[in-house]
Amino acid sequence: MDADVLIIGGGVAGLTLGARLADAAKVVVLEAEAAVGYHTSGRSAALFEPTYGLAPVRDLSYASADWYHASGLLSPRGVFLVARADEREAFESDLRTMAMDRLDLEAVFARMPVLRRDVVAMAGGRDDVFDIDTDKLLQDSVKAIRAAGGEVRLKSRVTGIARTGGLWRVRVGDRELAAPILVNAAGSWVNEVAAMAGVAGPRYQPMRRSMARIPAPAGMDVSGWPMTFGPGESWYAKPDAGALVVSPAEEHPMEPHDAWADDTVLAEGLARYEAYATEPVTRLLSSWAGLRTFSPDRVLVIGPDPVAEGFFWQAGQGGYGFQTAPAASRLGAALVLGRAPDAGAALVAAVSPARFG
């Protein structure tokens, strides 16, 4: 036996779960790429916004708040929602859903001077929204796993999975690793890992989201600008190291792959942003895309498979992986170890794979 728990996937889900388990179990994390967080986790908007998502997602986010605020991983950002006069219905819906306050437009223009006064007719916002140091969270998780005697193995693509003799046997290259518990935290490849293991389960859907990094408009200091959304999440813009990241916020179904931005979709999103901005986008510094993978009901899936013994799901993070990671990993670790979770019974049931029948 090579480990107590084998985790497939070196993104935020697998690494934070591994770090939670490391003091109580021998953990081995298998990551196919040459670096952790290579795919979706490395391409996140990196925002802690606890009102984002459906009710169980929000519950996990709020349950993560104390840990995050004590961690030193957060820095103030804030969020704006802006809309034209003809977008009132979508604006009002978002304002309620995201628990935002209505804002005085003069204060909004003063803080974010790129917004057009002749276009923005209403605005909302919140200050209790923060940037997450996502790279440090991932690297701290790796250190915690290794410090406890566990392993994070890179360039370890899984090519076969079988269960014999009460153990899950996972083939990586010419080696086989065995453990009684196997965690599927494979992100956009979650369906493929389940199929290799012969485990039925919900069908997860990766969704592409494209992003462009543009120069700061007119050389403005964007460091204090909030993350800003158009109504219905039609676009967003967020400061990033002296530049601005703009996204069309699309959700296009994709097969798992190393995603890249769709130029047409990106252009459409940039045009939606430009409609609100005093300065046009004249060039891109870079562009990229990530795959946000959702379960059928768009809520995370955390818990033991109801049929396959020793098979555990830590999957379906969608766009909520980082904001829920502290509570999601704490819940997952308790369930893996057979301990009573501190989450309420309703939340445990809401994220359980058993809910899919």
Give the whole-angstrom CA distance, residue 98 versus residue 273: 20
Residue 317 is predicted with a pLDDT of 97
Among the residue ranges 39-48, 60-69, 248-257, the one predicted with the least confidence is: 39-48
Determine how many CB atoms are found less than 10 A away from the CB of residue 334: 18
CATH code at 5-45+133-203+296-356: 3.50.50.60
Q: Residue 45 pLDDT more than 90? A: no
First to last CA, the chain: 32
Q: Residue 1 pLDDT more than 90? A: no
Mean pLDDT within 153-178: 97
- Which amino acid type is present at position 320? Y
Mean pLDDT within 334-349: 97
Mean pLDDT within 38-53: 91
Q: How far is CA 182 from CA 6, 142, 179, 330, in A?
A: 5, 18, 7, 17
The model's confidence at residue 78, banded by pLDDT at 50, 70 and 90, is: very high
Mean pLDDT within 255-284: 96
Tell me the pLDDT tens digit for each residue of 94-137.
Answer: 999 999 999 999 999 999 999 999 999 999 999 999 999 999 99
Tell me the pLDDT tens digit for each residue of 300-322.
Answer: 999 999 999 999 999 999 999 99
Q: Any residues with CB less than 8 A from the CB of 320 and at least 6 apart, and which?
A: 52, 53, 57, 60, 61, 300
Mean pLDDT within 265-288: 96
CATH code at 79-126+205-294: 3.30.9.10
**Domain residue extents for the chain:** 5-45+133-203+296-356, 79-126+205-294
Q: Residue 357 pLDDT more than 90? A: no
Q: Residue 42 pLDDT more than 90? A: no
Tell me the pLDDT tens digit for each residue of 290-302.
Answer: 999 999 999 999 9
Domains 5-45+133-203+296-356 and 79-126+205-294 share a fold: no
Q: Residue 332 pLDDT more than 90? A: yes
Q: What is the per-residue burial (b if ≥16 Cβ within 10 Å, else e) of 71-103?
A: eebbeebbbbbbbbeebeebbeebbeebebeeb
Rounded percentage of the chain residues whose pLDDT exceeds 90: 98
Mean pLDDT within 236-256: 96
Query: In whole numbers, what is the pLDDT of the chain averaged over residues?
Result: 97
Answer yes or no: are the C-beta atoms of 213 and 285 closer than 8 Å.
yes
- The pTM of this model reads 0.96
Provide the token pair at 110: 């003063």
